């Protein structure tokens, strides 16, 4: 049976983006696809969904993407750290091809409305200082502590740690409170270079870590999505990682290719979305 396809890949208010990705990759029609929403942790939600499908044997491979363009009202504090980006991961179970294994996954979810956008509004709203201690900080610390406690880990067991990065202060603060060092945080802390990429933030940080990690290293990742929830993962790199690290453009190389534009040009582009 023939498959119908979109003639032009443009952003819509209502339309799945997963179908556009599938067509761009030249895939057949015989795959399941979904767009997920949970603020800035939608990317890790997709990651966990694919992991579960692969683990159950329902699919052989899954492709999880975190992609976002941060929206902010002109002059709002959110605009100062707004970024855009994407990261994609192929998740499978063939040990001959694995560059890293997923050792544990834990999540935490509460009804904490620190960030929202009402119907017909162009820009999101936020609860200012409330987005810190009762929201991001409380959830990231609790979720990270939970996965370490359940596995019997301490901060010194990890070579790298990645947190969601809404700004430059919050991930450093939670790392300090949990007992992690700046050296453990360094490779994946990119917010000062690319801003807050929302659902892509922690996954781009993980990508940068995998570019520089070595065989047998442990990585702890905790995403955060307003509303509110966290996904935490413990990942261990394999000996195959070094074979693929220089095959494609690295995360830092993408960052170095940046081109500065004026604020006027930035606003024009944002308003065209």
- pTM for this entry: 0.92
Mean pLDDT of 198-209: 97
pLDDT tens digits, 172-191: 999 999 999 999 999 999 99
Q: Work out the average pLDDT over 35-64.
A: 96
Domain ranges of the chain: 15-273
Cα dihedral sign, 41-108-90-49: negative
CATH architecture of the domain formed by 15-273:
3-Layer(aba) Sandwich (3.40)
Q: Is the dihedral of CA 74, 76, 80, 83 positive or negative?
A: negative
- pLDDT tens for residues 137-176? 999 999 999 999 999 999 999 999 999 999 999 999 999 9
Sign of CA dihedral 57, 59, 61, 65: negative
* Residue that has been written with the tokens 């017909």 in this structure: 120
pLDDT digits (tens, 9 = 90+) for 110-140: 999 887 677 877 877 777 666 778 899 999 9
Q: What's the CA gap between 155 and 160, in Å, rounded? A: 10
């Amino acid at each position: 049976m023939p498959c119908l396809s979109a003639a032009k890949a443009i952003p819509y208010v209502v339309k799945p983006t997963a179908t556009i990705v599938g067509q761009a990759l030249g895939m057949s029609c015989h795959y399941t696809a979904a767009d997920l929403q949970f603020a800035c942790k939608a990317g890790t939600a997709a990651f966990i969904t694919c992991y579960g499908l692969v683990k159950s044997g329902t699919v052989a491979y899954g492709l999880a993407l975190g992609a976002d363009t941060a929206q902010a009202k002109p002059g709002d504090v959110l605009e100062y750290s707004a970024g855009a980006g994407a990261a994609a991961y192929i998740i499978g179970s063939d040990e001959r091809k694995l560059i890293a294994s997923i050792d544990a996954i834990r999540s935490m979810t509460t009804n904490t409305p620190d960030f929202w956008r009402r119907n017909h509004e162009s820009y999101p709203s936020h609860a200012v200082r409330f987005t810190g201690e009762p929201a991001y900080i409380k959830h990231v610390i609790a979720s990270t502590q939970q996965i370490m406690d359940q596995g019997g880990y301490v901060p010194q067991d990890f070579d790298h740690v990645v947190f969601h990065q809404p700004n430059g202060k919050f991930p450093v603060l939670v790392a300090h409170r949990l007992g992690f060092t700046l050296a453990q945080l360094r490779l994946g802390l990119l917010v000062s270079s690319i801003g807050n990429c929302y659902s892509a933030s922690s996954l781009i940080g993980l990508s940068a870590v995998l570019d520089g990690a070595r065989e047998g290293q442990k990585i702890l990742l905790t995403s955060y999505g307003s509303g509110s929830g966290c996904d935490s993962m413990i990942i261990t790199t394999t000996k195959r990682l070094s074979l693929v690290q220089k095959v494609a453009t690295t995360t830092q190389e993408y960052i170095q290719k940046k081109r500065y534009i004026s604020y006027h040009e930035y606003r024009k582009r944002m308003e065209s979305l």
